[in-house]
C-alpha cells in the first residue's frame, strides 16, 4: 500500500513500513524503514549546526540544515554531502555537482518493468514514481518503488534522463540508498573464491566505508551482491534484519558507511569503477533494480521473505513451479572423452536407479577435445556423435529419460572457426596482447551481430533434437574490456552494454524455448544472483561438489536465495575438488537441499550404492514439495561442527530436519538438534517411530545418536498427527 500526503511518502507491506518526505526546498529525506508502524516519522529528523558540514544556499534554516548530516533517499555528490553517493555525473563544462530536487510523483497500479533488465514482477503490486530534477543542469531522475505488499518486499530502480542541451556523462548510477540514523548495526557479506562461494562474514559496521563488489564483469565468486544489515544482537529468530539484493549480474558495488555522526548508509548498484555512460540530450539511462526486505523475526525471517518472493515474483515460465527432474550430468563420468554408446550405457544405469534426465556436458561440439579449443563452434562433433544429437536424444528417450545439453555461448576459443572468421568479435584491446582465462576469450555481446550469429548456431542445435534442459555456463572473468563498436570516449559503457547483451540473449532463449529447463552457471557460483534467476529458475551453486564444503556454501547461499534455486548433485568420490570421501548417504542428504541430481558414472557404483541411489531418488520425489518449497530454517552454523537445517510446510503439517555431523571425536559429547516453528500444541510423529508435541520437540529437542565416522547424515521427518 502506498500513501502520499503532504509530501510524505509511506510504503506499507504486510509487516513493514518504508517512509520518506520531500521538504519545502525539494530535498528528499528518508525518515523510516522497519517493522510496520503508522505515523509521521519526520519528527525523527534532527537539525544542528555542524562544523565543516556545508549548507544549501539561502535556506531559512540557515546553518542547521546540511545534506551531510541528514538521511536521504537518492544522495548525489558535489553539493554538500560527503558520504558515499549514489549518483555522480560530469557535465559539458567539466563540473561534477548534482543537485536533484523533488518535482512530482505518481502512484500506479501494478509493478513497473525495466527496459532490457530483469526485475521482480507483481500483478497485485503498486508502483510509486518520484521525479527529481536538477534546476541548474536539467538532469532528472525517476525513482521507482515497487511495493509487493503481501510478500513484504520493496523494490527500487531509477531512470536518469539528460534534460539539458549538452551531453552528460554519468560516472556513478546506483540503484539503492538506505540511510539509518543509527550506527549500532552489523553488516553481513557473502564472500569467498571459486569453489568456496558465499561464505557469510559478519562484523560491526565501523567508521568509514566498507564495501564489497566486482570488477570481473560478473557477480563473481569472490563477493555476492546480496548484503544484510542487522541489529548487533540479531539471531536467526529475533532482532531486526534488513536484506538488500541487486537484480543484476555484472560489475557491482555494495558499500556501507558509518558517518561521523554514527549514521549508517548502504548504497548498491553498478560498480562506478571503470563505468561511464554518456547521455545525449533527451536520452535516458536505466539502472538495475534492487530489492529490499526487513524482518523483526531475525535473519531467518528476512531470508524467508526473499525465498518466497524469488520463487513467486522473480522466477518465470513453466519451470518456476513445475517439479524439476532428477538429472545425471556426464562431466565427472567422461569429461571430454566419450562416445554415443558410452553415454547411452551410462543412461541405462541411471534410468535403472530412477534418474529422469541425462545431461551431456562439455565436449560434444566442434573440435572440442579439451578446454583449449572449439568454443564458438556450436555444431555437433559427428566423430563422437554420428548423425548428430537427434539419434542420441532418441536412444536416451527410449530409456525413459529426457535429454539435456551444456553450452557456453559467451565465450570463444582462439582455436575455433568462429574466431578465425571474426577475431574482432572478442573483447580485446587493439595492439595489446590478450589476457587469457581458461584458454578462451569473451565474445563482445554488446554487439547485436555477434549475439545474432551465436544464437543462430544455438537455435539450429536446439531444434535438431528433443532437448529438454540446457546448462548455460560461463567460465572466465572479463578482461581487456574494449568494444570495437564504441568510440574511444564511450568505452566505459562496454561492460554494462555487454551485460545487457547477455540479458537480451537470455530473454530470446526463454521466449523461443519455453519448455527447456535452463540452469545458469558461471564456473559454478560466479554469477549466482537475482538477475540470472529472472531467466533461469536454478543456478549451479558451486563447482565444488564435496558435501562437507557444500554444507557451508549452501548455508551462506540460503541467506538470500531459496533451496529451489541451488543446483546440487551427488558426486563421485574421492571428490574431484577436495579428494575427500564421504558416505553416499551424506552426499544425498546435502544434495537434496538443492535441485538434486548426480555427477558421476552410475556404472561404477557398487550394488549397495545403486540401491542407495534408488532410495535417495524415491525419497526426494516423496518429499519434493517440502524440500523445494518448504519454509527454510538454518538451525546451526555448520562452522560450529554440526550442520542442521529444516524445511517446514507453510501450514506446519510436516517438517524435515536435516543433520550432518562433523569430525568424530573420541568420547564425544551428546548432541541435540532443536526444530523450530512447529505447531506447539500438535503431536508430531518422528520418522514414524515415536511421537511428541511440537513444543516438546522445539524446546526439548531431538537427541542425536552417536554414530561413528565423520560427516554422518540424518533426516527426521516430522508429520503432524491427524494432518
Distance (Å, whole) CA 626 – CA 274: 45
Give me the residue label for grid cell 500500500: 1
Query: How do strand 185-193 and strand 196-204 relate by DSSP bridges?
Result: antiparallel
Contact (Cβ atoms closer than 8 angstroms) between residue 221 and residue 525: yes
| Greatest Cα-to-Cα distance within the chain, rounded to the nearest angstrom | 84
Phi then psi for residue 403, to 5 deg, are -120, 135
Query: How do strand 327-329 and strand 357-360 relate by DSSP bridges?
Result: parallel
Could you write out the DSSP letters of every residue in 85-98? PSEEEE-TTS----
Give me the residue label for grid cell 505488499: 149
Query: How do strand 357-360 and strand 402-407 relate by DSSP bridges?
Result: parallel
- β-partners of residue 109 are 126
Quick check: helix, strand or coil at residue 352? Answer: helix
Could you write out the DSSP letters of every residue in 269-310? EE--TT--EEE-TT-EEEEEEEEEEEESBHHHHHHHHHHHHI
Distance (Å, whole) CA 294 – CA 34: 6
- Number of residues that this document lists for the chain: 723
Distance (Å, whole) CA 267 – CA 176: 5
Alpha helices (H) in 558-681, listed in sequence order:
584-592, 607-622, 624-629
Residue 419 in grid coordinates: 574466431
Distance (Å, whole) CA 413 – CA 423: 10
Tell me which residue of 305, 329, 496 sits closest to 406, measured CA to CA: 329
Q: Is 529 a catalytic residue?
A: yes
* b/e code 606-619 from CB counts within 10 Å (16+ = b): eeebbebbeebbeb
Identified catalytic residue from 609, 637, 692, 710: 609
Residue 517 in grid coordinates: 529447463
Residue 108 in grid coordinates: 500506479
Distance (Å, whole) CA 368 – CA 371: 7
Tell me which residue of 476, 406, 407 sits closest to 441, measured CA to CA: 476
Alpha helices (H) in 205-322, listed in sequence order:
298-309
Distance (Å, whole) CA 231 – CA 238: 9
Identified catalytic residue from 179, 529, 546, 633: 529
Contact (Cβ atoms closer than 8 angstroms) between residue 411 and residue 375: yes
Residue 109 in grid coordinates: 497500479
Residues classed as catalytic: 529, 609
Amino acid at each position: 500500500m502506498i500513501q502520499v500526503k503532504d509530501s510524505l511518502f509511506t510504503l506499507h507491506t504486510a509487516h513493514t513500513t518504508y517512509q520518506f518526505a520531500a521538504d519545502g526546498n525539494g530535498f528528499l529525506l528518508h525518515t523510516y524503514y522497519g517493522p510496520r508502524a503508522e505515523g509521521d516519522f519526520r519528527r525523527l529528523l534532527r537539525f544542528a549546526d555542524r562544523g565543516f558540514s556545508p549548507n544549501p544556499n539561502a535556506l531559512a534554516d540557515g546553518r542547521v540544515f546540511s545534506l551531510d548530516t541528514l538521511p536521504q533517499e537518492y544522495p548525489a555528490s558535489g553539493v554538500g554531502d560527503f558520504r558515499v553517493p549514489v549518483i555522480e555525473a560530469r557535465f559539458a563544462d567539466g563540473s561534477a555537482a548534482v543537485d536533484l530536487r523533488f518535482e512530482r510523483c505518481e502512484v500506479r497500479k501494478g509493478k513497473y518493468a525495466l527496459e532490457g533488465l530483469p526485475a521482480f514482477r507483481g500483478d497485485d503490486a503498486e508502483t510509486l514514481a518520484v521525479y527529481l530534477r536538477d534546476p541548474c543542469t536539467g538532469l532528472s531522475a525517476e525513482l521507482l518503488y515497487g511495493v509487493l505488499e503481501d510478500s513484504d518486499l520493496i523494490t527500487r530502480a531509477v531512470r536518469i534522463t539528460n534534460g539539458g542541451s549538452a551531453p552528460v556523462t554519468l560516472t556513478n548510477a546506483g540503484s539503492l540508498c538506505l540511510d539509518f540514523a543509527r550506527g549500532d548495526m552489523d553488516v553481513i557479506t557473502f564472500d569467498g573464491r571459486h569453489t568456496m562461494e558465499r561464505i557469510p562474514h559478519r562484523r560491526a559496521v565501523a567508521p568509514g566505508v566498507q564495501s564489497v563488489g566486482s570488477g570481473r564483469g560478473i557477480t563473481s565468486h569472490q563477493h555476492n551482491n546480496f548484503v544484510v544489515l542487522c541489529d548487533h544482537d540479531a539471531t536467526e529468530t529475533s532482532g531486526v534484519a534488513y536484506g538488500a539484493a541487486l537484480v543484476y549480474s555484472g560489475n557491482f558495488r555494495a558499500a556501507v558507511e558509518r558517518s561521523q555522526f554514527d549514521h549508517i548508509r548502504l548504497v548498491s548498484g553498478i560498480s562506478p569503477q571503470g563505468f561511464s555512460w554518456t547521455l545525449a540530450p533527451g536520452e535516458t539511462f536505466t539502472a538495475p533494480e534492487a530489492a529490499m526486505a526487513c524482518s523483526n523475526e531475525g535473519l531467518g525471517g528476512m531470508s524467508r521473505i526473499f525465498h518466497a518472493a524469488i520463487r513467486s515474483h522473480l522466477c518465470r515460465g513453466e519451470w518456476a513451479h513445475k517439479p524439476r527432474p532428477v538429472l545425471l550430468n556426464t562431466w565427472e563420468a567422461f569429461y571430454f572423452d566419450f562416445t554415443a554408446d558410452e553415454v547411452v550405457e551410462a543412461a541405462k544405469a541411471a534410468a535403472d536407479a530412477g534418474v529422469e534426465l541425462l545431461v551431456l556436458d562439455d565436449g560434444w561440439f566442434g573440435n572440442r577435445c579439451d578446454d583449449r579449443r572449439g568454443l564458438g563452434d556450436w555444431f555437433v562433433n559427428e566423430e563422437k556423435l554420428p548423425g548428430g544429437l537427434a539419434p542420441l536424444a532418441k536412444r536416451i528417450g527410449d530409456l525413459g529419460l529426457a535429454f539435456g545439453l551444456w553450452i557456453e555461448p559467451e565465450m570463444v576459443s582462439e582455436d575455433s572457426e568462429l574466431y578465425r572468421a571474426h577475431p574482432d568479435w572478442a573483447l580485446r584491446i587493439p595492439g595489446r596482447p590478450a589476457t587469457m582465462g581458461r584458454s578462451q576469450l569473451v565474445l563482445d555481446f554488446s554487439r547485436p551481430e555477434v549475439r545474432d550469429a551465436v544464437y543462430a548456431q544455438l537455435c539450429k542445435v536446439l531444434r535438431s533434437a528433443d532437448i529438454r534442459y540446457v546448462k548455460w555456463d560461463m567460465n572466465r572473468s572479463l578482461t581487456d574490456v574494449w568494444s570495437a563498436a564504441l568510440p574511444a570516449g564511450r568505452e566505459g559503457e562496454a561492460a554494462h552494454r555487454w551485460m545487457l547483451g547477455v540479458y537480451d540473449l537470455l530473454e530470446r532463449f526463454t521466449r523461443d524455448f519455453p519448455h527447456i529447463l535452463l540452469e545458469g552457471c558461471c564456473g559454478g557460483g560466479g554469477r549466482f544472483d537475482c538477475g540470472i534467476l529472472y531467466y533461469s529458475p536454478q543456478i549451479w551453486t558451486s563447482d565444488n561438489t564435496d558435501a562437507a564444503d557444500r554444507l557451508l556454501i549452501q548455508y551462506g547461499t540460503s541467506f538470500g536465495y531459496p533451496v529451489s534455486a541451488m543446483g546440487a548433485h551427488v558426486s563421485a568420490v574421492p571428490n574431484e575438488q577436495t579428494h575427500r570421501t564421504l558416505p553416499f548417504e551424506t552426499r544425498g542428504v546435502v544434495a537434496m537441499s538443492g535441485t538434486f541430481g548426480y555427477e558421476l558414472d552410475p556404472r561404477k557404483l557398487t550394488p549397495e550404492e545403486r540401491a542407495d541411489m534408488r532410495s535417495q531418488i524415491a525419497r526426494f520425489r516423496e518429499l519434493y514439495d517440502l524440500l523445494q518449497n518448504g519454509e527454510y530454517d538454518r538451525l546451526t552454523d555448520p562452522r560450529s561442527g554440526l550442520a542442521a537445517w529444516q524445511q517446514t510446510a507453510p501450514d506446519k503439517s510436516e517438517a524435515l530436519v536435516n543433520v550432518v555431523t562433523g569430525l568424530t571425536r573420541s568420547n564425544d559429547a551428546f548432541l541435540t538438534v532443536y526444530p523450530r516453528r512447529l505447531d506447539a500444541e500438535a503431536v508430531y510423529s518422528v520418522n514414524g517411530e515415536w511421537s511428541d508435541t511440537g513444543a516438546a520437540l522445539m524446546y526439548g529437542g531431538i537427541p542425536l545418536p552417536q554414530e561413528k565416522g565423520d560427516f554422518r547424515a540424518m533426516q527426521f521427518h516430522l508429520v503432524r498427527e491427524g494432518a
